[in-house]
Structure 1
């Protein structure tokens, strides 16, 4: 029996490329000098796609593949894929949840501490040879502070558990309250921001959350407030964030994601008290290998057993 043909859009890590090349006939788009020519020649044969984040999987792109059965995304976020449209064509979409939850939660807590205590700035200060006297006392602290989490999913809950161990009060905002947690729920993001000292975004991207964190939210958070984002950059109006930081509407921010990655606004780079990370929340070899293996497993499991392992919410697949 011939191997299924799949399209590989990105230069993935070895565990992904090795796994895919052993199980499938692969067409590696990222290698092509003329990607359009490759797509035109193989689109009719493609039954699966190993998707990264370099190509927007909109309806027009998806429709180029008449025999497509599954899009396996690398990463838990899949706002680059129109999963709802894929569902209308009975195309499965999978992502890689759970395997990165704890790593991202660790990074979120680390970023929050770095931001509150100016750890990045103080290290730069030391390296610049300025330790002739004590580093100025930091205005920020997490002692006695209230953490508000926007997006209490798998990752949000893992962050909340860690914050509880730090003796922080935890509250949250989702579209609806959750039955399996005791944290205080706020029906609106504005109410959550007004209540908390640290607003942490762990929400997904997409049209429903685009720029949901805006001027009004920063005003509600207030001049002693700290904003942390390990969710998606598209959730934040970056112009409003820059203005809030420049005008001291909020105290500081720690960001692992940005709206137009890898482009980071120069105004943010110029702010020494703001902590900026290059989207590294899940970026350990251990965790990325686990994510890659799950991406491969979703594809191999589908073609071998006729079932996805981790289908996304929009995918037309029976839920247990």
Structure 2
């Protein structure tokens, strides 16, 4: 028997959204269930709702598999809350007639702000200094406890991935008297920063390397032992893109053996991070993937998801399809509500 026609779309969530955000989604449709697992499978779909679900609002780090899509026969829209969509099976989505949207540039200023903040925390040893005071060690006046601190002024910052977030990082670095260069798949014609065609050349040139690229299968562990060695013993690494861009085992080894001076991570290969190797490293600053966690970013991303829901279920093209599906979003055979 065909599913009953609904006046409002049935929504399934796959991320722990705030109450105001859920309230905004509820204005667009009926939230019929929530998947609590960070890596949901078919078994995580709430009982009795599979045949009703028409849209999912989740994140790219949670994603959706081909098997899950097959279990949701009316699904026609998957909205990623945030920029990334690395765990969404795009080939399966297209084959099954499911549009995928993402947060595009909605959180770029806020993520860039954190990138500069944790870069400073790493280079100026802010977390280690805080712990020193709390342990009562300041009064011991141990000289050169942290070794020489260069500071950012006069340094060279390399940005790996000069997209929306990378550009915002570069803008925020202007006041620090640093030289900026970047590595991208293609040289940009709208900036005058020095360009490097590969990450090894960029790492060899710079003092501080900030990873801002969109993480997908093509750049998994693009930051490996060789790149860290090229960055050098006074170098610092910052990752605010996706965790799997960095080989965490290689990074831990580089920090333990003074291959690089320090690092800061807002993202991890598996989230939440439950390992122990990184926790033992004093030279590593860690934050829990909250670069886009400001109130401003949350409002912008919530608004974008709502606009995508509104457009899709009123028969108009979505506002922010993922780049791989952009042309399809405006084509006659673009997915329609079921």
Shared fold by TM > 0.5?
Answer: yes
**Match among 157, 165, 169 for residue 155 of structure 1:** 165
Please tell me whether the aligned partners of residues 100 and 287 of structure 1 are also in contact (alpha carbons under 8 angstroms): yes
Give structure 2 stretches of 5+ with no counterpart: 1-5, 332-338
Alpha-carbon distance between aligned partners in 2 of 1:135 and 1:75, rounded to the nearest angstrom: 45
State yes or no: 1:254 paired with 2:264.
yes
Alpha-carbon distance between aligned partners in 2 of 1:43 and 1:314, rounded to the nearest angstrom: 27
State yes or no: 1:69 paired with 2:71.
no
Relative to structure 1, is the Cα distance of residues 246 and 289 closer, same or farther in structure 2, using a 3 angstrom cutoff? same
Matches within 5 A, 1:128-207: 128-132=135-139, 133=141, 136=144, 138-207=148-217
State yes or no: 1:42 paired with 2:42.
no
**C-alpha RMSD of the superposition:** 2.3
Alpha-carbon distance between aligned partners in 2 of 1:51 and 1:242, rounded to the nearest angstrom: 31
How far off is 1:138 after superposition?
A: 4.2
State yes or no: 1:57 paired with 2:69.
no
Aligned-partner SS, 2:48: helix
Q: Which residue of 1 aligns with 2:112?
A: 105
Alpha-carbon distance between aligned partners in 2 of 1:20 and 1:135, rounded to the nearest angstrom: 56
Aligned-partner SS, 1:217: helix
Alpha-carbon distance between aligned partners in 1 of 2:93 and 2:205, rounded to the nearest angstrom: 39
Alpha-carbon distance between aligned partners in 1 of 2:36 and 2:219, rounded to the nearest angstrom: 34
If asked which structure has higher relative contact order (CA below 8 Å, sep 6+), I would say 1
**Structure 1 stretch 236-245 or stretch 53-62: which is displaced more?**
53-62
Alpha-carbon distance between aligned partners in 1 of 2:61 and 2:166, rounded to the nearest angstrom: 26
**Match among 9, 16, 26 for residue 14 of structure 2:** 9
Alpha-carbon distance between aligned partners in 1 of 2:283 and 2:11, rounded to the nearest angstrom: 46
Aligned-partner SS, 1:49: strand
Please tell me whether the aligned partners of residues 15 and 293 of structure 1 are also in contact (alpha carbons under 8 angstroms): no
How far off is 1:43 after superposition?
A: 2.4
Off by >4 Å, runs of 4+ in structure 1: 37-40
1:252-311: per-residue Cα shift (whole Å, max 9, x none)?
111111111212542322222221111121112332232223222211222125221111
How far off is 1:147 after superposition?
A: 0.5
Relative to structure 1, is the Cα distance of residues 138 and 291 closer, same or farther in structure 2, using a 3 angstrom cutoff? farther
Relative to structure 1, is the Cα distance of residues 279 and 67 closer, same or farther in structure 2, using a 3 angstrom cutoff? same
Aligned-partner SS, 1:149: strand
How far off is 1:54 after superposition?
A: 7.1
Give the TM-score of the pair, scaled to structure 2: 0.87
State yes or no: 1:211 paired with 2:211.
no
How far off is 1:56 after superposition?
A: 3.7
Please tell me whether the aligned partners of residues 99 and 291 of structure 1 are also in contact (alpha carbons under 8 angstroms): yes
Please tell me whether the aligned partners of residues 16 and 295 of structure 1 are also in contact (alpha carbons under 8 angstroms): no
How far off is 1:15 after superposition?
A: 2.6
1:144-178: per-residue Cα shift (whole Å, max 9, x none)?
11011111100000101111221111111111111
Give the TM-score of the pair, scaled to structure 1: 0.92
Relative to structure 1, is the Cα distance of residues 145 and 60 closer, same or farther in structure 2, using a 3 angstrom cutoff? same
Aligned-partner SS, 1:43: coil
Q: Which residue of 2 aligns with 1:275?
A: 285
Number of aligned residue pairs: give it. Answer: 318
Give structure 1 stretches of 5+ with no counterpart: none
Alpha-carbon distance between aligned partners in 1 of 2:237 and 2:259, rounded to the nearest angstrom: 11
**Structure 1 stretch 71-80 or stretch 50-59: which is displaced more?**
50-59
Please tell me whether the aligned partners of residues 13 and 292 of structure 1 are also in contact (alpha carbons under 8 angstroms): no
